[in-house]
């Protein structure tokens, strides 16, 4: 076990805040959620190496502190507005835990892929500590999402959490731009600072688009696609703030943040990010608004951006090459073959064990739906789909009702757009293990509480 350089800073800081400033642990947990390539402690070596992230560290301290507080109060109350989504969330968790029986049932009679890469090896599926560890990680994420939902049931706390998350986005965008500039001027990138996770799957910062000799920016994330997924969700938050004229930061900074997020997504050269932005532009057209002029501006802005991208593709050679390499040529690339192989294998696992799959996180995945079917079966996917469908439907409903009577419901609209586009990019690019998904889900459930309370005031009850 080895403490990383940033670990020597963050570990004492976390322990200090646990004693004297416990509320700051929450902000640090939110801030470090996108830092998937960062570790404060590394353990193991080779293919079995892994890192303990700042998000896990601060999140664990935060949950521990909350448990101490609950023990003192000896009372847990569940607000009515978020009770149903939380029940569905814990139902999904229960099914995933129940799926742990499958490795025992299978008992080594099934061979699974050892990694989500083309150079995988087949290993017997047997019960081991790694399976338990993955399930404990899911329990941790569900508790984090629940705590986020509880903490943000009023506007002030909600916007504070959004600002913390977007400040993290500003930092990782600037760090990504630094990575890009250092590559251009041929100065070594300081990967040891934030890309120090010992896992062999965290070397995305070294990826390059060979056809134009441009680095694929991953910043503090495991790989460019992970970074692009985070930034697309942040783009949705910022876009709604501008669309609804809600100032998150100082005047003009929200527009600058939009530009920073978009430019960094472009630098990732990740097809996930580009497709996610396209989906975001389509979803923006369906956002409810009480002002026809605002809706026309949103549609015109989306069309203008689309036309600009088309013109750049046909007139700027470097843009043509990059888009061709990241989108049009994907079907012939090793990445596409890798994804197709994993989806095919996951489908075979599901067909053999359709009810509970082969056990939570026992099958490597490159998409959400087939991957979830393989890992927790029809029961798990049904529970998860019901949860997400319920949250998105209610967010949309609150947004439309309040727009009809001329009341701004920015949290409902913001999280409707953010959760919708996040689920879309995860459907095409991976499972729900990364922390950013659970932060967004927690804020979405909190937005339901805010929308419910606003509706009660409108109805006079």
Burial of residue 22, with CB atoms counted within 10 A of its CB: 0-12 exposed, 13-18 middle, 19 or more buried: middle
Q: In what order do the strands lie in the sheet with 2-3?
A: 2-3, 41-43, 50-52
DSSP assignments along 155-198, one per residue: HHHHHHHHHHHHHHHHHHHHHHHHHHHHHHTT----HHHH----
Residue 141, token pair as written in the block:
């994420």
pLDDT at 173: 95
Q: Is the dihedral of CA 305, 205, 49, 59 positive or negative?
A: negative
Confidence of residue 210 (pLDDT cuts 50, 70, 90): low
Q: Is the dihedral of CA 8, 9, 11, 13 positive or negative?
A: positive
CA dihedral 146, 150, 156, 157 (to 10 degrees): -50
Express as a percent the part of the chain with pLDDT over 90.
37
Residue 420 · residue 434 · CB < 8 Å: no
Distance between CA atoms of 289 and 42, rounded to whole angstroms? 49
Mean of all residue pLDDT scores within the chain: 82
Tens digit of each residue's pLDDT (9 = 90 or more) over 387-446: 999 999 999 888 776 555 444 568 888 999 999 999 998 887 777 888 999 999 999 999
Tens digit of each residue's pLDDT (9 = 90 or more) over 426-443: 887 777 888 999 999 999
Residue 294, token pair as written in the block:
């605002």
Tens digit of each residue's pLDDT (9 = 90 or more) over 237-292: 988 888 777 888 887 888 899 889 988 998 888 888 888 888 888 888 777 665 55
Which residue reads 């694929």 in tokens? 216
Highest mean pLDDT among 44-53, 135-144, 406-415: 135-144
pLDDT at 269: 84
pLDDT at 96: 93
Tens digit of each residue's pLDDT (9 = 90 or more) over 351-372: 999 999 988 888 888 778 888 9
User: What end-to-end distance do the CA atoms of the chain give, in Å?
Assistant: 57
Strand partners, 215: 208
Residue 221, token pair as written in the block:
């994330």
pLDDT at 443: 96
Closest CA to 212 of 177, 178, 174, 184: 184
pLDDT at 406: 47
Phi, psi of 419 (to 5 degrees): -70, -40
Distance between CA atoms of 148 and 299, rounded to whole angstroms? 33
Rg of the chain over all Cα atoms, to the nearest angstrom = 22
Residue 84 · residue 394 · CB < 8 Å: no
């Amino acid at each position: 076990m080895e403490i990383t350089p940033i670990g020597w800073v963050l570990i004492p800081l976390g322990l200090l805040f646990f004693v004297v400033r416990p509320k700051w642990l929450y902000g640090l947990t939110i801030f470090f959620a996108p830092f998937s390539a960062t570790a404060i402690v590394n353990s193991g070596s080779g293919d079995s190496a892994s890192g303990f992230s700042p998000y896990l560290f601060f999140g664990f301290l935060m949950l521990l502190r909350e448990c101490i507080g609950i023990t003192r109060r000896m009372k847990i109350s569940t607000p009515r507005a978020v009770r149903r989504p939380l029940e569905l969330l814990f139902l999904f968790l229960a099914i995933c835990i129940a799926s742990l029986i499958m490795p025992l049932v299978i008992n080594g009679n099934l061979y699974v892929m050892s990694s989500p890469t083309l150079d995988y090896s087949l290993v017997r599926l047997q019960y081991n500590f790694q399976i338990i560890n993955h399930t404990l990680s899911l329990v941790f994420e569900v508790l984090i999402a629940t705590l986020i939902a509880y903490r943000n049931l009023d506007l002030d706390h909600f916007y504070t959490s959004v600002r913390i998350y977007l400040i993290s986005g500003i930092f990782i965008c600037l760090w990504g731009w630094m990575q890009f500039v250092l590559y251009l001027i041929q100065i070594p990138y300081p990967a040891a600072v934030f890309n120090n996770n010992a896992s062999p799957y965290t070397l995305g910062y070294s990826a390059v688009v060979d056809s134009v000799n441009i680095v694929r920016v991953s910043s503090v994330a495991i790989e460019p696609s992970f970074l692009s997924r985070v930034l697309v969700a942040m783009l949705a938050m910022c876009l709604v703030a501008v669309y609804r004229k809600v100032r998150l930061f100082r005047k003009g900074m929200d527009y600058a943040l939009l530009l920073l997020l978009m430019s960094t997504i472009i630098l990732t050269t990740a097809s996930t990010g580009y497709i996610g932005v396209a989906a975001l532009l389509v979803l923006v057209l369906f956002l409810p608004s009480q002002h026809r002029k605002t809706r026309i501006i949103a549609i015109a802005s989306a069309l203008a951006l689309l036309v600009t991208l088309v013109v750049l593709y046909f007139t700027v050679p470097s843009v043509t090459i990059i888009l061709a390499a990241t989108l049009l040529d994907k079907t012939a690339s090793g990445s596409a073959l890798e994804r197709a192989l994993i989806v095919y294998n996951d489908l075979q696992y599901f067909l053999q064990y359709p009810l509970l799959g082969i056990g939570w996180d026992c099958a490597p995945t490159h998409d959400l739906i087939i991957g979830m079917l393989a890992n927790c079966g029809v029961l798990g996917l049904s529970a998860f789909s019901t949860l997400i469908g319920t949250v998105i439907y209610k967010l949309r409903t609150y947004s439309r009702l309040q727009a009809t009577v001329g009341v701004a419901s920015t949290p409902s609209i913001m999280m409707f757009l953010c959760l919708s586009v996040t689920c879309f990019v995860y459907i095409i690019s991976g499972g729900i293990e990364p922390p950013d998904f659970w932060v967004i889900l927690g804020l979405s459930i909190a937005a339901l509480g805010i929308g419910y309370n606003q509706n009660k005031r409108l109805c006079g009850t």
